[in-house]
Amino acid sequence: LAAATAAAMSSSDNHSAFTRAQAVLPGGVNSPVRAYGSVGGDPRFLVSASGPWVTDVEGRDYADLVCSWGPALLGHAHPEVVAAVQEAAARGLSFGAPTVAEAELGEEIRRRVPAAERVRLVSTGTEATMTAVRLARGYTGRSLIIKFAGCYHGHVDSLLAEAGSGVATLALPGSAGVTAASAAETLVLPYNDLAAVEEAFATRGHEIAAVITEASPANMGVVPPEPGFNEGLRRITAEHGALMIMDEVLTGFRVGPSGWWGYENSISPSPAGGPAYTPDIFTFGKVVGGGMPIAALGGSAAVMDHLAPTGPVYQAGTLSGNPVAVAAGLATLRLADDAVYARVEEVSSILARALGEALAAEGVPHVIQRAGSLFSAFYGPTVVDGVRDYATAQSQETFRYRALFHAMLDAGVNLPPSVFEAWFVSAAHDDAAIDRILAALPGAARAAAE
């Protein structure tokens, strides 16, 4: 008991917590970017979170702009989501048998994105994209996949080449352990470059199973698709009998009730009305589980019914459609109404504007890019005319973010510990949280200027 108490006490100081974790977990973390490798210093070990706030082991609170990397659209520990989870947990943690709530969650996703006629629930975004790729290959009988440099689709072997997120943060070309054979089945093209896609299809079109794209990339910083880019991908894939996989793991049900697809198509619907384009397969994650491990893929019945048990493409999971996680996802989506999206948009525009003003006041060369309620800043002279691809995103002055990050942290604001990530806000970001952030920005911009 004394040893256990001593261990617990030593973890109450953040540095001891990190030292202890490093002795048992590689890098002290279970997901690389959390280790603060690119910003330096000890990652904050958190004990609780509520609304827009997170609290660390030393009792310090921070206005949170990570929001669990996206899921916390409603803010942390929303009382109705917590109640739904508690109620479900009391009825049993996992059955390994179908439940009515899984169909309800599938219906809620389809209500928001009607092209998701059939939905398969999985546990992580990685599983969703991995399954989407396998399904596209099984459906088309082809092997090649096109992805775009700077897009991150989880840690699927074939999708790690020139990936964003942690792969970008750690400046890796891909990952050790991915076989050459697997890498050879992925063609990586520059983002926002339809001519490159046309060319790839012109030479290898009959081999290409699918193009996978982030609906609006946010893992190399926020780099929105140029008008017509997603529509062009739809046209080219359809012409060549390949599928279009739109990865909405990050954007889905965050930038709007129907994800980026709904957002973009309501901004620029086709002249005939209705959506300008419709992908074959969507992947969802993050918000769809409200902070619990749920992700999903959805698409037309014709494609999705190729999944087992109706079709030959195998996919399964002991914890797929887990009842406690489904309860969290359903409660979150049911609460995510127009007022929530309006508030998230409002908070993000206040913060994006204030960040831009603070950086401008200190003469820091930068550009702020937005995609709906997602935004991020890029730093240095090479980005000021805008960032439309990964090469430009990588050319920025990352040291400026390191300084800005730590100044914000010292002032009680939790930013993503990497310049290649979006800043996430929630509908729970109230005046107190916004004031904390606004008060911290001028000093942080000064730090970034040095």
d(CA 264, CA 244): 16
Stretch that binds ligand PLP, among 151-159, 342-350, 375-383, 387-395 (CB under 6 A): 151-159
Beta-bridge mates of residue 414: 64
Residues 6 or more apart whose CB falls under 8 angstroms from that of 273 comprise none
- Residue matched to tokens 């310049």: 419
Structure letter (DSSP) for residue 64: E
User: What's the min distance (Å) between Cβ of 310 and ligand PLP?
Assistant: 25
Candidate list 64, 108, 162, 214; residue touching ligand PLP; CB under 6 A: 214
The one-letter amino acid at 241:
G
User: Could you please report the per-residue DSSP string of 352-393?
Assistant: HHHHHHHHHHTT--EEEEEETTEEEEEESTTSTT---SHHHH
Please list the alpha-helical segments (H only) found in 118-193.
Answer: 125-140, 166-169, 180-184
Considering beta carbons, is residue 76 or 400 the nearer one to ligand PLP?
Answer: 76
Considering beta carbons, is residue 148 or 201 the nearer one to ligand PLP?
Answer: 148
Considering beta carbons, is residue 311 or 317 the nearer one to ligand PLP?
Answer: 317
Exposed e or buried b for every residue in 3-23, given b needs 16+ CB within 10 A?
Answer: eeeeeeeebeebebbbeebee
Pairing of strands 208-214, 144-148: parallel
- Tell me how many residues contact ligand PLP (CB under 6 A): 16
Candidate list 18, 152, 229, 375; residue touching ligand PLP; CB under 6 A: 152
User: If we measure between CA atoms, which residue out of 48, 51, 82 comes closest to residue 428?
Assistant: 51
User: If we measure between CA atoms, which residue out of 298, 259, 282, 303 comes closest to residue 118?
Assistant: 298
Stretch that binds ligand PLP, among 22-30, 120-128, 254-262, 440-448 (CB under 6 A): 120-128
Candidate list 33, 208, 249, 371; residue touching ligand PLP; CB under 6 A: 249
Please list the alpha-helical segments (H only) found in 91-243.
Answer: 100-112, 125-140, 166-169, 180-184, 194-204, 229-239
Q: Binding string, 215-234, against ligand PLP, x = CB under 6 A?
A: ----x---------------
Considering beta carbons, is residue 250 or 433 the nearer one to ligand PLP?
Answer: 250
Q: Binding string, 266-285, against ligand PLP, x = CB under 6 A?
A: -------------------x
Q: Binding string, 80-119, against ligand PLP, x = CB under 6 A?
A: ----------------------------------------
Considering beta carbons, is residue 64 or 247 the nearer one to ligand PLP?
Answer: 247
Considering beta carbons, is residue 64 or 397 the nearer one to ligand PLP?
Answer: 64
Residue 126 engages ligand PLP in binding (rule: CB under 6 A): yes
Beta-bridge mates of residue 403: none
User: What's the min distance (Å) between Cβ of 332 and ligand PLP?
Assistant: 15
What H or E segment, with its residue span, contains residue 61? strand 61-64
Q: Binding string, 156-175, against ligand PLP, x = CB under 6 A?
A: ---------x----------
List, by residue number, the catalytic residues. Answer: 152, 247, 286
Considering beta carbons, is residue 30 or 48 the nearer one to ligand PLP?
Answer: 30
Angle at 71 between CA 105 and CA 145, to 5 degrees: 80
d(CA 343, CA 425): 10
Residues 286-345 that bind ligand PLP (CB under 6 A): 295
Residues 35-74 that bind ligand PLP (CB under 6 A): 69
**Closest residue to ligand PLP in the complex (CB):** 125
Residues that bind ligand PLP (CB under 6 A): 69, 124-126, 129, 152-154, 165, 214, 219, 247, 249-250, 285, 295
